[in-house]
Amino acid sequence: MIVRLILIAVVVFFAMNMGASGLAPSFAAPHGARLIAKSRALLLFGIFVILGAITLGSNVAVTLGKGLLPTGLLTADVALVILASSAISLFLANILGIPQSTSQVTVGAITGAGLYFRHLNCATLFFKILPLWILLPLLSYALTFALYRIIYPPSSGNLHLYQRVFTNEKALRITTLAAGCYVAFAIGSNNVANAVGPLYGAGIVRISTGLLAVAPLFGVGAWAMGTGPLETAGSEIVPLGLISSTLVCFVTASLLLVASMAGVPQSLVQLNIFSIFAVSCIKNGHRCTMNHQVTRKTLLIWALTPVLAVLISYLLLAVFKGRG
- Give pLDDT, residue 182: 97
pLDDT in tens, 282-310: 887 777 666 666 667 667 767 777 888 89
pLDDT in tens, 1-25: 788 889 999 999 999 888 887 887 8
- Give pLDDT, residue 61: 97
- Give pLDDT, residue 83: 94
- Report the distance separating Cα 308 and Cα 111, nearest Å: 11
Q: At what angle do helices 169-190 and 242-262 cross, to 10 degrees?
A: 30
Which parts of the chain sit beneath pLDDT 50?
228-238
Say what the pTM is. Answer: 0.89
Helix (H, G, I), strand (E, B) or coil at 122: helix
C-beta neighbour count of 175 within 10 angstroms: 17
- Report the distance separating Cα 231 and Cα 221, nearest Å: 16
Q: State the sign of the Cα–Cα–Cα–Cα dihedral 236, 232, 169, 145.
A: positive
**Domain limits, the chain:** 2-323
- Report the distance separating Cα 159 and Cα 151, nearest Å: 8
- Give pLDDT, residue 1: 74
**Buried/exposed code over 250-273 (b: 16+ C-beta within 10 A; e: otherwise):** bbbbbbbbbbbeebbbbbbbbbbb
